[in-house]
Amino acid sequence: MIDVAPLRRSYAMGGLDEKDLTSEPIALFEKWLKECIDAGLYDPNGMVVSTVNAQGQPHSRMVLLKNYDDKSLVFYTNFGSRKAHDIADNPKVSILFPWYYLERQVIFTGTAVKMSMAESVTYFKSRPRDSQIGAWASHQSSRISARSLLESKFMELKQKFKDGEIPLPTFWGGFRVTFDSVEFWQGRVNRLHDRFMYTKEPDGSWSTQRLAP
């Protein structure tokens, strides 16, 4: 067994204070996202989506943020996937952006709903052609006996769709997560990290409070 207990480092890249907060959380999120992109982080739009199934078992996985606005975050998936089944049973989700290299995390909590077919079609058409075929080839989260079956299906569909546009699979599309709380975490020395929570009020405004690390 590897002894992981002594693996640690001091977080000293920066801080987060009240004066740094914006009136709405998405503005601060966008600022941090741009800093991640400018810093050259791999997959700066990578986010961990956590769901809970009907038996109360949580599951987490990394997906890519593909759109956002001041109220919601958007990702796409196979509607036969475990995450989609979990959301059908319990639409409450948590989304984590783990920007470790900048010693930051952002956590959104909210409710996921399926996007319209028109919205999904628009995004699907923007994907690289092989990614479109990949969506058709994989029945996400289902059991397969060998990778060769997946690759064979991909090549079969590549031949089938060699001419013309590739249609949107009926089992694939987007989820829009409307968020009602956002936590910003900035690592600090001595584990005295900065944490601020935005909470949406009934009138649509946002309140903020500092949380103990």
Q: Is 83 annotated as a binding residue?
A: yes
Q: Is 131 annotated as a binding residue?
A: yes
Phi, psi of 118 (to 5 degrees): -60, -45
Q: Is 101 annotated as a binding residue?
A: no
Q: What whole-number distance in Å separates Cα of residue 183 and Cα of residue 167?
A: 38
Q: What whole-number distance in Å separates Cα of residue 213 and Cα of residue 210?
A: 9
Q: Is 191 annotated as a binding residue?
A: yes
Q: What angle do CA 172, 143, 90 make, to 5 degrees?
A: 55
Q: Is 10 annotated as a binding residue?
A: yes
Q: Is 42 annotated as a binding residue?
A: no
Q: Is 193 annotated as a binding residue?
A: yes
C-alpha distances (whole Å) from 11 to each of 5, 28, 80 are 17, 20, 40
Q: What whole-number distance in Å separates Cα of residue 140 and Cα of residue 172?
A: 10
147 is catalytic: no
- Catalytic entry in 104, 129, 143, 191: 191
Q: Where in the sequence numbering do the catalytic residues fall?
A: 191
Binding positions for FMN are 61-66, 76-77, 82-83, 105, 140-141, 185, 195
Binding positions are 8-11, 61-66, 76-77, 82-83, 105, 123, 127, 131, 140-141, 185, 191-193, 195
Binding positions for substrate are 8-11, 66, 123, 127, 131, 191-193
